[in-house]
Amino acid sequence: MSRIDDRFKSLNGKKALVAFFTAGDPDLSASKDIFLVIEKSGADVIEIGVPFSDPLADGPVIQASAHRSLQNGTTLKKIIELVKDIRSQSQLPIVLMSSYNPVFVYGQKKFVEDAVNAGVDGVILPDLPPEEAGEFLSFANAKKLDTIFLLAPTSTPDRIQTVGEASKGFIYYISLTGTTGTKEALSKNLEEKVSAIKSKVKLPVLVGFGISGPEQAKEAGQCSDGVIIGSAIVKLIESHSDPVERDKSIAEFISGIKTALN
């Protein structure tokens, strides 16, 4: 089993917390510190965002962080090196979230090999649907790199089945149509949608997009296997220039979410 599978199994039915931040914002050295703070505060899986100039589904908060990161000279190769560095101190599951373009430019096969060798456990490529991912999946599955696909409120039963069969690790359910970002309320039919997905797939189903605090996390966790939080964390990073205050705020936020979930 992968590190992701092991982590979900070790939870024994408790809800998982997946935390996202953009690599290289404010810089790659800080990214390592942020990762370790998030881990110590209770996250079960950490998504590291690969910045891209033309992201598909990122809202303004994550777009701005990606811009700052690119301005700092962050590249996919440097992020893979960051993961390798993190692995000297952590065995927490790591998922890279990237647009397909940086992976294509890097070379699909080489990316998979380098990522796995560095210690990456999974990858999310929001703009690579399973119907077009055959070549990438052949490389990823051969190296046991979990490819995580997304479902949305508009996903049909056939689509749910396709994603369920292609995914490994967990299913990422986008709770709202549109872009990422913190929202005041979750979708009214969230429970109905998640239940329909869980009846058709074997993997854990996690809810992302629009979860900004403990109450929303608790609500989403009641019908799912856990939550994914990104924009709220990225916002904290952006709003604290002092590393000590930044890390304290992140730690309090993550531990608060984890407590609310379980």
For residue range 216-257, list pLDDT tens digits in order. 999 999 999 999 999 999 999 999 999 999 999 999 999 999
Residue 210 DSSP symbol: B
For domain 3-261, the CATH class is: alpha beta
**Contact call for residues 51 and 65 (beta carbons, < 8 A):** yes
The verdict on whether 131 is a catalytic residue reads: no
DSSP 148-197: E-EE-TT--HHHHHHHHHH--S-EEEE-SSS---B-SS--TTHHHHHHHH
Choose, from 25, 39, 47, 219, the residue flagged as catalytic.
Answer: 47
Per DSSP (E only), the strands in the chain are 16-22, 45-49, 94-97, 122-124, 146-148, 150-151, 171-174, 205-208, 226-229
> Does residue 213 surpass a pLDDT of 90?
yes
pLDDT tens per residue, range 146-176 = 999 999 999 999 999 999 999 999 999 998 7
CA angle 226, 232, 235 (to 5 degrees): 155
Supply the pLDDT for residue 60. Answer: 84
Q: What is the mean pLDDT of residues 65-94?
A: 97
What is d(CA 237, CA 167) in angstroms, rounded to the nearest whole number? 30
Distance of CA 46 to CAs 70, 96, 139, 199, Å? Answer: 20, 9, 22, 26
Tokens of 148: 């995580």
* CB of 18 closer than 8 Å to CB of 45: yes
Does residue 58 carry a catalytic annotation? Answer: yes
pLDDT at 181: 45
**Of the listed 25, 39, 58, 247, which one is catalytic?**
58
Percent of the chain having pLDDT more than 70?
94
Residue with tokens 């872009």: 179
Residue-range domain boundaries for the chain: 3-261
Average pLDDT estimate for 198-216: 93
Per-residue confidence (pLDDT) for residue 209, from 0 to 100: 86
Q: Tell me the one-letter amino acid at 238.
A: E
Q: What is the pLDDT of residues 32-79, one digit of tens each?
A: 999 999 999 999 999 999 999 876 656 788 889 999 999 999 999 999
Lateral strand order in the sheet of 16-22: 146-148, 122-124, 94-97, 45-49, 16-22, 226-229, 205-208, 171-174, 150-151
pLDDT average, residue stretch 15-29: 97
pTM equals: 0.94
What residues contact residue 141 under an 8 Å CB cut-off, 6+ apart?
147, 168
